[in-house]
Structure 1
């Protein structure tokens, strides 16, 4: 058996199925490509009434009373939010 990771016990801890239709073949390879993960994440966000804003980036995070209440983008848009996911 060929393993990409010399620590076989580490490979055993990596889940083989990370989402429906997204089987992990190796530590470095996902069936369907990384787009499968992105598509699954988009679906979860949209199913929970979340929104994705593409082709703009956050320039400021608005904080009030030690709570994040939204973000401002390079296009001057303000998006109020209870939860922000940043990467």
Structure 2
């Protein structure tokens, strides 16, 4: 997903004025399916959905707020 009329070049940021770096994410099948659905709805890649969410440009529908205790339990697994 680049700018219209501009050829993409590896290592050169187009949308965010910085180049993206390869990052491996491990997700459950459910999370991946939900990510795919959001990407399809927004007509962007999975990577772009994660980018927008991490930059605070996209809110997670149906987000679950965990208590400190629940976070602690999940952090131990």
Alignment TM-score > 0.5, same fold: no
Q: Which of the five TM-score ranges fits, normalised by the shorter chain?
A: under 0.3
Q: TM-score with structure 2 length normalisation?
A: 0.25
Structure number with higher helix proportion:
2
Question: Does 1 or 2 have the higher relative contact order (CA < 8 Å, sep 6+)?
Answer: 2
Q: TM-score with structure 1 length normalisation?
A: 0.23
Q: Tell me which structure has the larger Cα radius of gyration.
A: 1
